[in-house]
Amino acid sequence: MSDERTFIAIKPDGVQRGLISAILGRFENRGYKLVGIKLVQPTESLLRTHYEDLQSKPFFPSLLSYMLSGPVLATVWEGKDVVKQGRAILGATNPLASAPGTIRGDFAVDMGRNVCHGSDSVESAKKEIDLWFKPEELVDYKPALFGWIYE
């Protein structure tokens, strides 16, 4: 089994629309292990750090306003190839380009309300996890089902 981890956030629209259990279930059903979870009202400082690579983009002010508009469910998932597979579970950033069966393909229409964020690389996952979680907020355990998921 791999100990690769990814950061997945359910954005304010996903939280407000009551999609938390449906989204978490997609990752659980795939066989990934939840190792961190918390409901957060993010600060502007946290979001500016999280989206530092987008601050020069014209849409950044609206992204910041959107992400400050309500709580975010921050999660950390662990498992084999979880960063790449997590993004596949989420679907394309633009929901209209997302395949049916993906989270964004099933639950979103507009790019400005695309329900979730997922780390795009192992490196960014580590950075995002460290930004949103203290080490003691992550739990290391072995689920009983793992023998049925991993060889």
Q: Name the residue with tokens 């990934």.
A: 32
Return the active site residues. 117
* Pairwise CA distance, residues 74 & 131, whole Å: 11
* Pairwise CA distance, residues 11 & 87, whole Å: 15
* Pairwise CA distance, residues 45 & 90, whole Å: 26
Say if residues 82 and 89 touch (Cβ distance below 8 Å): no
pTM attached to this predicted model: 0.94
- Per residue of the chain (151 residues), give pLDDT as tens: 578 999 999 999 999 999 999 999 999 999 999 999 999 999 999 999 999 999 999 999 999 999 999 999 999 999 999 999 999 999 999 999 999 999 999 999 998 899 999 999 999 999 999 999 999 999 999 998 888 988 8
Q: Is 80 assigned a ligand-binding role in the annotation?
A: no
The secondary structure element, H or E, covering residue 37 is: strand 33-40
Domains of the chain: residue spans and CATH: 5-137 (3.30.70.141)
Strand partners, 122: none
Neighbour order of strands in the sheet with 72-78: 33-40, 72-78, 5-10, 116-118
pLDDT of 99: 96
Say if residues 128 and 21 touch (Cβ distance below 8 Å): no
Q: Is 87 assigned a ligand-binding role in the annotation?
A: yes
pLDDT of 2: 74
Q: Is 126 assigned a ligand-binding role in the annotation?
A: no
pLDDT of 1: 57
